A and B are shown apart, each in its own frame.
Chain A
Amino acid sequence: MAKTKKIPLSEEPSINANDKTSFDKNLKIVESNPDEDLIVLNKVKNKEFEPSEVFNLKLRAEEVAKQSEIRELITYPMIKKNLEFNLPHQQEGALRILRDLDGRALLADEVGLGKTITAGMVLKECIVRGFVRRALILTPPSLVNQWKEELKTKFELDFTEINKESEWENCELAIASLDRVKNFNNSTNEFKHNKAHEIYWDIIIIDEAHKLKDKKTYRWKFVDKLQKKRLLLLTATPFQNNLIELYNLLSLLRRGHLGTISEFRSNFLINGNERQPMNPRELKRKLSEVMIRRRRDEAKGIHYMKRVPNIISVELTANEKRAYDEVVDMLLVHYLDFNGEQINTTLAAHSVLPKITSSSKSSIEFLENLKNNPKYHKSTQDIAEDIIFQFKNIKEDTKVTRLIELVNEINKKDPKTKILIYTKHPATLKYVSDILKSQKFHVTEYQGGLTNQEKSKRLKEFKEKNQILVSTETGAEGLNLQFCNNLINYDLPWNPMAVEQRIGRLDRIGQKKNIFVYNLATKDTMEEHVVDLIINKMCCIGLVMGELPIILFNMGLDSLGKSGSSKFEEKIMNAFLDSKNNLSRFSNEIEKVGYEIKNGIKGYAETKNYTTELLDI
């Protein structure tokens, strides 16, 4: 045993004046004697007494509420009602982390097993048992809101998002994007968010922790400097290219667990080859002391269904095509403000393009607004008026006609089947819904702005009575519609994460059938190419729910770009702007993006296989 000495503490936790801190060798004992004792003594002095029954009741309350050792999750019954499914591996994982690993663990379950839920269980249990007061969650930027939402709805925990440095001080339950807070100020030689390092955290959870593979990065250094009692690292792929990444990750968790880097190289790598483990059994044993990993085929109650993509080509009539081209042309050439200055085409593309590809209805709505808005130039307004006139003279709507045909086809195959139709725009929602109703379909509309009561009522209506739900994505966020297996994207968001969210309403635990993803795409427009890329090359290629966000995160494409849209969406928009509505050029650009994505997916698959080879075989 090493000879020990008392270690001076750099940072003492704040304790009452009545508190005593003592050391028994290195063991720190903090004894707090609350000031409340004085209040009690003063009450006696002032002869203020209460009936003794109250004290007896208080004693019984202490006895009844007394918590035992962690043999079970006392909070599980509380959160069970908020969880869709009872998956034993999630509870087992949380228990192991708390009981056997003292709350410092690498949770490396395969994607789709619900690492977030397991981490949430750990968090909730710790908070209710009184072990945790200050908690910090660091996630990729795109997952901050999802985490916040899940913690709120499933675990009834309110986390505050940290954006500014000043927000750390009074925040006990904090969540932040690691990419945002890891920024380093070279002039001051400090992290911008160094206040996070002054706090003693009871627990820190880091999602997609494989991004901490390189100890030279500010990301790694930021996390390493955090003072913490418990640390949970979540990732399905703890290493990607080599085993040194795993070493670096475990260094955050338990310094020296795998020895020094030289020892690690000589003990676990063949001739220093960073991809080849020399002693895999021993490495696995060492890992099992800090890591929990379960495979999907081991987990009870989870069955994965296939996503079957289907692109429905919509061939516009000559009149429709002309109107569409004129809107695009107006946007690229004649989109002028009241001074006659060209309006930023990038921003215009982001806000307007989705509308005009959605439906004639939302196109007209946009053009009407433009026509009546004084911030636009007269010539632009005149063009808008002309196009409106053209749209109004078009008697047919090929897209909606194709939709009705599609719904009829699905209905013919199985009259009882449920269909979810997604659109981005409320105007399109109403338009589509009215037309379907006119065709005698039973339709429920679902959009943002409904009260919770109304939402529940409409969901019930769809589940029990109506065949079709037409929804905007903001309305249907977080819904569980696994009883439905037909999804029609009337229009498609150009952000694959948003598409994943849509499919995710159906593709979740409890889905018993394959999921048919139908996508209406207007032929000879950019939409055709974007739909092909997002659906056929990203969302329906056999990835498990949750894998695509990781791939985009790994590629640095999951965060928001300068325009406020996702970086991926920006790529597509820029491709569109660069092509100047030349479809062949746009197609080439999209092909390049597709190639990039393909490489990202390939890299992820290799990593996954490598992880499986080492950890699961």
Chain B
Amino acid sequence: MMAENTTKKFILEFFKDSGINDDKGVLTITNVPASFEEFIGKKSPYKLVFDLNLHNKIKETELIMQGSYFLCAIKDYLANKGLTSLLKLNIKPDLNEIKKTMCHHTQKCVVSKGTCFLDAQKSNISNLSNPKVGVYFSDIKKNPKLKNSKIVEVIPADNSFLTQFSFLSSYQYLNEKKQSINKFLIKDKEILDIDITGFKSSNGKKEDIPEIDLTSQYNLAKRKLDINVIKDIKPIKSLLHTKLEKELFRIKDHYYKQIKEKDDEVEKCKLKIKLLKSKLKHTFYERDIATIKRTIVDSERRLEMLQKRSYRERLNSEEIFHKNDEIEKHVLSIKNTLINVTIYYYPIFDISVMQKGKKTILKYDPVLKRVL
């Protein structure tokens, strides 16, 4: 039921710009974009149900569930979409925070050059609508460089950029398939271990960003991905390894024994010929001699046949063939696909501070929470 709800929510979101009518569990979807209709090869309206009984009861409905054609088609349709995004992080100084931590806000908070910090903030950012998530000035204050200083002004200045690479890794082996999504946030040449999901964001404008070459960042992300993949596949490898070794041992053992049996047969044959030949020397009756000679000829013919067929080569190549079959059967296929690159940008703040009567301007990165 939970899976059904999740799937239904997803479908509602996917078709949110189309017409949706929910009638007793049957979603009728109309006005679907032509590109999707073309992709799926069927014109709307689509009648979608999420329950097998309902699907059996109502004709011409599409059953939506894990593995269903329609759901897979949506997944495939989206596969080549949403590959790149540009997001602006809407970071604003938190006025309340400022009030609480820096200004010890009273009317006395009038600093040099006659500008009240709070007033300055108000004038600079009063147009920002939602200052809920913002710069935590307590962090700024903790910075040793700012000891005994007073912030007099905070101004959003140049933009800073982050790149997020999202990879879909799928692992297929035997009759199993697992997948994981790895996201790496990179600034310059460093992979960051920070969470930016708390920041409000909106789709950015491409004019706001410079020319970008992501090759080195991509390579960095791939290196990190490799490390993660190694971790992911460790239990899979161990399982496959155990299974495969068992199978290879079976084959090796089988062919070892087969070759040995043939070798023994050859040896037996040789021994028999040798014994017969020695027996021949001590036999006097014509009839016995003829019989022994005939048996020797038969045995030699048998020996020749055994050796001629080069059983060793044949069995060895059979062994390799079957081992290869097992190796192929136990192959672990890893597919890593870059499914999205998102460029985030946000302002670096110029912070003016008064320290021992001297004004200094510091650059502050509100995402990294670092004075630069």
Could you tell me which A residues sit within 8 Å of B by CB distance?
Answer: 1-2, 4, 7-11, 13, 24-34, 36-37, 39-41, 43-45, 47-52, 54-70, 74-75, 77-78, 80-81, 98-99, 102-104, 126, 128-131, 200, 227-230, 254-257, 259-260, 262-263
Contact A49 B249 (CB under 8 A): no
Report the bound CA distance from A225 to B318 in whole Å.
Answer: 9
* Minimum Cβ distance to chain A for residue B163 (Å): 8
Q: Smallest distance from the beta carbon of A61 to chain B beta carbons, Å?
A: 5
Q: Are B338 and A37 interface neighbours, CB within 8 A? A: yes
* A65:B75 contact, CB within 8 angstroms: yes
Chain B 67-85 interface 0/1 with A at a Cβ cutoff of 8 Å (1 = within): 1110110110011011111
Quick one: CB contact mask for B48-90 with A, threshold 8 Å, 1 for yes? 0000100110000001011111011011001101111111000
Task: Given A2-B253, A39-B83, A131-B177, check contact A27 B206 (CB 8 Å).
Answer: no
Rounded to whole angstroms, the CA-CA distance of A8 and B82 in the bound complex is 42
- Nearest CB to that of A255 among chain B residues? B322
CB-CB < 8 A to A78: which residues of B?
63, 67-69
Q: How far is the CA of A553 from the CA of B246 in the complex (A)?
A: 38
- B314 CB to closest chain A CB, in angstroms? 12
Using A26-B244, A27-B240 as known contacts, say yes or no to A227 and B63 having CB atoms under 8 A apart.
no
- Asked if B66 contacts A7 (CB within 8 A), the reply is no
A132 to B250 Cα, complex, angstroms: 26
Q: Which of B71, B218, B329 is most buried by chain A, counting CB atoms within 10 A of its CB?
A: B329
Is the pair A129, B328 in contact by a Cβ cutoff of 8 Å?
Answer: no
- Please, what's the 1-or-0 string for B190-227, where 1 marks a CB less than 8 Å from any CB in chain A? 00000000000101101001011111001000000000
Q: Would you call A57 and B324 a contact (CB within 8 A)?
A: no
B210: min CB distance to chain A, Å:
10
* Residues on B with beta carbons closer than 8 Å to the beta carbon of A99: 175
A2, B248: Cβ atoms under 8 Å?
yes
Chain B, residue nearest A6 (CB)? B327
Between B6, B74, B218, B324, the greatest number of chain A beta carbons within 10 A of the residue's beta carbon is seen for: B324
Q: Complex: how many Å from CA A270 to CA B69?
A: 54
Which residues of chain B have a CB within 8 Å of any CB of chain A?
6-7, 10, 13-14, 52, 55-56, 63, 65-69, 71-72, 74-75, 78-79, 81-87, 166, 168, 172, 174-177, 179, 181, 201, 203-204, 206, 209, 211-215, 218, 229, 233, 237, 240-241, 244-245, 248-255, 257-258, 261, 318, 320-325, 327-343
How many angstroms from the CA of A28 to the CA of B318 in the assembled complex? 20
A70 vs B13: C-alpha distance in the bound complex, in angstroms? 28
Tell me whether A40 and B338 are in contact in the complex, defined as CB-CB below 8 angstroms, given that A30-B333, A77-B52, A80-B52 are known contacts.
yes
Partner of B75, one of A39, A56, A61, A126: A61
Report, nearest first, the 10 A-B pairs whose CB atoms are least far apart. Answer: A256-B254, A54-B82, A74-B67, A55-B82, A52-B85, A49-B86, A37-B338, A47-B206, A58-B78, A31-B334
B334:A62 contact, CB within 8 angstroms: no
CA distance A63 to B179 in the complex (A): 10
Q: How far is the CB of B167 from chain A (nearest CB, A)?
A: 9
Whether A50 contacts B84 by the Cβ 8 Å rule is yes
Identify the closest chain A residue to B205 (Cβ). A49
Question: By the criterion CB–CB under 8 Å, are A27 and B213 in contact?
Answer: no
- A residues within 8 A CB of B330? 27-28
State whether B237 touches A4 (Cβ < 8 A).
Answer: no
List the A residue with the shortest CB-CB distance to B211: A45
**The residue from A26, A49, A50, A130 contacting B245, defined by CB atoms under 8 A apart:** A26
| Contact present for B84 and A26 (CB under 8 Å) | no
Q: Would you give the shortest CB distance from B280 to chain A, in whole angstroms?
A: 30
Least CB distance, A371 to chain B, in whole angstroms: 51
Closest residue to A30 on the B side, CB-wise?
A: B333
With A7-B327, A44-B212, A69-B176 already in contact, the answer to whether A260 and B66 are too (CB < 8 A) is: no
Q: Name the contact of B10 in the complex, choosing from A25, A29, A60, A69 (C-beta under 8 A).
A: A60
Is there contact, CB below 8 Å, between A43 and B83?
Answer: yes
Residues of A close to B337: CB separation below 8 A: 33-34, 36-37
A453 nearest CB across to chain B (Å): 13
Q: Is the CB of B248 within 8 A of A51?
A: no
Known interface pairs A29-B334, A67-B67, A131-B172; A55-B6 also in contact (CB < 8 Å): no
Complex: how many Å from CA A227 to CA B203? 52
Choose one: B86, B328, B336; the contact of A28 (CB below 8 Å): B328
Instruction: Specify which chain B residues have a CB less than 8 angstroms from the CB of A57 in the assembled complex.
Output: 10, 13-14, 78, 82
